[in-house]
């Protein structure tokens, strides 16, 4: 595998694990605020991000490469209201989209068609992640100031359940 592509994919393992860490810190914030449903949502989001890391790891291993696990940065965000983490989530997902795009662009340049094919799942996934984040911002903006509505919203996010993503399920 091309050295530059290896480095990008290997770094993405770290970026996804950082995402898991970041969302766990969001879950901690909501848990502390008594919004257990929002906490549940981000705990599951953290699991999904760990899965993303595992998918990139699996790709390297299946291509006869050994992942090099790097140090994970410390999430350092502080929040002053319920909307803050949701805005931060959208910003973060846009950043991750740009990372996936960068890997795809590099794979295109190197004529690595296998990597391009592999990344397609993540390209779709990022559209979904951004859409979900925007949806949460909209709902919080619309309903967050009414206590009853907030309670219902929290209940809705409390029902989110974990499922194994397709690329790992067919392992």
Least distance CB 126 / Mg ion (angstroms)? 8
Both structure tokens of 59? 């790709």
Nearest to 43 by CA among 64, 29, 56: 29
Question: Could you tell me if 16 and 50 are in contact, meaning their C-beta atoms sit under 8 angstroms apart?
Answer: yes
Residue nearest to Mg ion (CB): 52
Angstrom distance (rounded) from CA 153 to CA 169: 30
DSSP state, 106? H
3-state secondary structure of 71: coil
The residue within the footprint of Mg ion, chosen from 17, 23, 52, 89 (CB under 5 A), is 52
Least distance CB 53 / Mg ion (angstroms)? 8
Residue with Cβ nearer Mg ion (16 or 112): 16
Least distance CB 160 / Mg ion (angstroms)? 16
Window contacting Mg ion (CB under 5 A); options: 9-17, 39-47, 130-138, 141-149: 9-17
- Residue recorded with tokens 């592509």: 5
Q: Per-residue x/- mask for Mg ion, residues 11 to 50, rule CB under 5 A? A: -----x--------------------------------x-
- For Mg ion, the binding residues in 78-137 under the rule CB under 5 A are none
Angstrom distance (rounded) from CA 79 to CA 29: 8
Q: Which residues contribute to the site for Mg ion (CB under 5 A)?
A: 16, 49, 52
């Amino acid at each position: 595998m091309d050295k530059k592509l290896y480095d990008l994919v290997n770094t993405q393992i770290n970026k996804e694990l950082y995402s898991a860490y970041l969302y766990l810190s969001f879950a901690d914030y909501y848990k502390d605020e008594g919004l257990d449903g929002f906490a549940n949502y981000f705990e599951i989001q953290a699991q999904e991000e760990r899965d993303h890391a595992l998918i990139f790891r699996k790709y390297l291993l299946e291509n006869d490469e050994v992942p090099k696990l790097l140090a994970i940065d410390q999430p350092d965000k502080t929040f002053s209201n319920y909307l803050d983490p949701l805005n931060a989530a959208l910003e973060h997902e846009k950043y991750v989209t740009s990372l996936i795009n960068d890997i795809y662009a590099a794979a295109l340049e190197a004529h690595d068609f296998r990597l391009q094919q592999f990344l397609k799942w993540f390209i779709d996934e990022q559209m979904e992640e951004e859409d979900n984040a925007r949806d949460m911002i909209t709902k919080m903006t619309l309903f967050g100031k009414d206590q009853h509505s907030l309670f219902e919203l929290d209940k809705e996010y409390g029902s989110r359940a974990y499922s194994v993503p397709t690329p790992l399920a067919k392992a």
